[in-house]
């Protein structure tokens, strides 16, 4: 395994073997379960630039998300998409390559919506600098977005630049009984909700409100009154969101699959965790043989096909792969 400590060493590592793949902390092991030489980002670590006044930072790919979260918190800022597996040790590059976002994606968008620029090494060993370091950057095509969710199959991510937001002054989480049409009413309501998730079991809907402390009580009261849910509502401690983001509810040695869904499909995923207002679902089963027949998605952990139920293919994907990796030094998205 190569362990580069600089971007120049990352270039050498990519050139050093005919088939390579970058790996971070291994918190989503199925994504890197392919044949080839591993390039660890363990030493490619650290925040390169951070300007709180500009709400942007640049960090190397192997930087633990926990370090990023802590530094931002000191300045009253955060990554609003709620990165997952932070406590498990997930890295910044791993978050970009996997494209995973947490409950905050509902209101603010996912990883790709906060990525401003990326430095990566392509299959020819060239260091590419794509995008920029400022929010108002409209030069050329938005190529960095292709790296998000690419599983490291297009290029080796070396460093990334993100925009960040101010941390909310206070939060409050309501737990409401699940019923037909509730997700749609919450999403279309006037309450500017921060997150809407359904924890495993499918019986309750979690609604996270954010804002000034003094505004949350009347906001919650108005929401409960409009939904006629006052008697059935309960409050949930903020730490509960942490358990969802860390997948503590999932089987530790089982198969974990992420699926893109619509609110109308939520009923098929009550055994797992439904996130982002009913647009993402996570299913945990003991073995691949127990994966439901209807499931279509990406396997994050466990011994199962990378793509459950197949995946769509687009001409632009093949074109980007050819441009980044003409010699196929990185595995394909089908490996």
**Rounded Cα gap, residues 10 and 38, in angstroms:** 12
Q: In terms of domains, do 265 and 175 share one?
A: yes
Domain termination site, one of 105, 132, 166: 166
Counted domains in the chain:
2
Q: In terms of domains, do 76 and 159 share one?
A: yes
In the sheet where 156-163 sits, what is the strand order? 47-51, 56-60, 156-163, 115-121, 127-131
Provide the pLDDT for residue 136.
56
Beta strand segments in the chain, E: 20-23, 37-40, 47-51, 56-60, 77-78, 115-121, 127-131, 156-163, 165-166, 170-177, 195-197, 204-211, 234-236, 255-260, 273-275, 280-285, 297-301, 307-308
**Each residue's pLDDT tens digit, 212-228:** 999 999 999 999 999 98
Q: Considering Cα of 322, then 325, then 327, then 328, what sign does the dihedral take?
A: negative
Q: In terms of domains, do 278 and 175 share one?
A: yes
Asked if residue 70 belongs to a domain, the reply is: yes
**Rounded Cα gap, residues 164 and 166, in angstroms:** 7
Domain termination site, one of 139, 166, 193: 166
Q: Which CATH number is 94's domain given?
A: 3.30.465.10
Query: What token pair was written down for 24?
Result: 């971070």
pLDDT reading at 201 higher than 70: yes
Task: Tell me which H or E stretch contains 15.
Answer: helix 7-15
Please count the residues of the chain.
335
Provide the pLDDT for residue 1.
86
Q: Which of 120, 116, 114, 105 is nearest to 152 (CA)?
A: 120
Q: In terms of domains, do 146 and 189 share one?
A: no
Q: Structural domain of residue 24, as residue ranges?
A: 7-166
Q: Which of 279, 306, 308 is nearest to 291 (CA)?
A: 308
Asked if residue 276 belongs to a domain, the reply is: yes
Q: Tokens 């790709």 belong to which residue? A: 112
Cα torsion through 280, 285, 288, 293, rounded to 10: -60
**Each residue's pLDDT tens digit, 302-327:** 999 999 999 989 999 999 999 999 99
**Rounded Cα gap, residues 84 and 9, in angstroms:** 28
Q: Which of 105, 110, 65, 71 is nearest to 87 (CA)?
A: 65
Q: In terms of domains, do 200 and 286 share one?
A: yes
Asked if residue 107 belongs to a domain, the reply is: yes
Q: In terms of domains, do 11 and 160 share one?
A: yes
- Please tell me the pTM assigned to this model: 0.95
Query: What token pair was written down for 153?
Result: 């199959």
Percentage of residues in the chain with pLDDT exceeding 70?
98
Provide the pLDDT for residue 135.
61
Cβ–Cβ < 8 Å for 153, 321: yes
**Largest alpha-carbon pair distance within the chain?**
64
Q: In terms of domains, do 179 and 83 share one?
A: no
**Rounded Cα gap, residues 16 and 230, in angstroms:** 63
Neighbouring CB atoms inside 10 A of 306's CB total 17
Provide the pLDDT for residue 230.
73
- Rounded to an integer, the average pLDDT of 40-61 is 97
pLDDT reading at 22 higher than 90: yes
Q: In terms of domains, do 36 and 107 share one?
A: yes
Q: In terms of domains, do 187 and 286 share one?
A: yes
Residues in CB range of 321: below 8 A, 6 or more apart: 153, 154, 332, 333
129-138, 169-178, 318-327: least confident range: 129-138
Q: In terms of domains, do 95 and 153 share one?
A: yes
Asked if residue 327 belongs to a domain, the reply is: no
105-109, 203-207, 226-230: least confident range: 226-230
Q: Considering Cα of 107, then 111, then 112, then 115, what sign does the dihedral take?
A: positive
Q: In terms of domains, do 42 and 179 share one?
A: no
Domain termination site, one of 141, 166, 191: 166
**Rounded Cα gap, residues 137 and 140, in angstroms:** 9
Asked if residue 324 belongs to a domain, the reply is: no
Q: In terms of domains, do 135 and 215 share one?
A: no
Asked if residue 316 belongs to a domain, the reply is: no
Asked if residue 52 belongs to a domain, the reply is: yes
pLDDT reading at 138 higher than 70: no
Confidence class for position 143, pLDDT limits 50, 70, 90: confident
Asked if residue 264 belongs to a domain, the reply is: yes
**Rounded Cα gap, residues 152 and 149, in angstroms:** 8
Mean pLDDT across the chain: 95
């Amino acid at each position: 395994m190569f362990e580069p400590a600089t971007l120049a060493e990352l270039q050498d590592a990519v050139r050093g073997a005919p088939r390579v793949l970058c790996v971070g902390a291994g918190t989503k092991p199925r994504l890197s379960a392919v044949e080839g030489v591993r390039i660890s980002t363990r030493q490619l670590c650290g925040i390169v630039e951070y300007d709180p006044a500009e709400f942007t930072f640049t960090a190397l790919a192997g930087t633990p998300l926990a370090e990023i979260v802590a530094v931002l918190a000191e300045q009253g800022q955060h990554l609003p998409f709620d990165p997952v597996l932070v406590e498990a040790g997930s890295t910044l590059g791993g978050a970009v390559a996997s494209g995973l976002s947490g409950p905050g994606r509902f209101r603010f968008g996912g990883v790709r919506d906060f990525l401003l620029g990326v430095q990566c090494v392509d299959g020819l060993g060239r260091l590419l600098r794509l995008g920029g370091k400022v929010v108002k950057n409209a030069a050329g095509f938005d190529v960095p977005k292709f790296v998000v969710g690419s599983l490291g199959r297009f290029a080796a991510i070396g460093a990334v630049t993100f925009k960040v937001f101010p941390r909310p002054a206070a939060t409050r989480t309501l737990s409401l009984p699940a019923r037909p049409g509730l997700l749609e009413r919450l999403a279309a309501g006037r309450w500017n909700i921060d997150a809407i998730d359904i924890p495993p079991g499918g019986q309750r809907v979690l609604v996270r409100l954010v804002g000034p402390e003094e505004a949350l009580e009347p906001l919650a009261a108005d929401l409960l009154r409009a939904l006629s849910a006052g008697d059935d509502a309960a409050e949930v401690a903020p730490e509960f969101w942490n358990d969802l983001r860390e997948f503590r509810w999932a089987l530790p040695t089982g198969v974990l699959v992420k699926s893109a869904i619509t609110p109308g499909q939520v009923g098929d995923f009550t055994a797992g965790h439904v996130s982002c207002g009913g647009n993402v679902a996570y299913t945990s089963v003991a073995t691949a043989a127990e994966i439901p027949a209807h499931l279509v998605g990406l396997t994050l952990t466990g011994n199962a096909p990378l793509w459950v139920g197949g995946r769509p293919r687009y001409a632009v994907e093949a074109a980007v792969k050819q441009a980044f990796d003409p010699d196929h030094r990185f595995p394909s998205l089908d490996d």
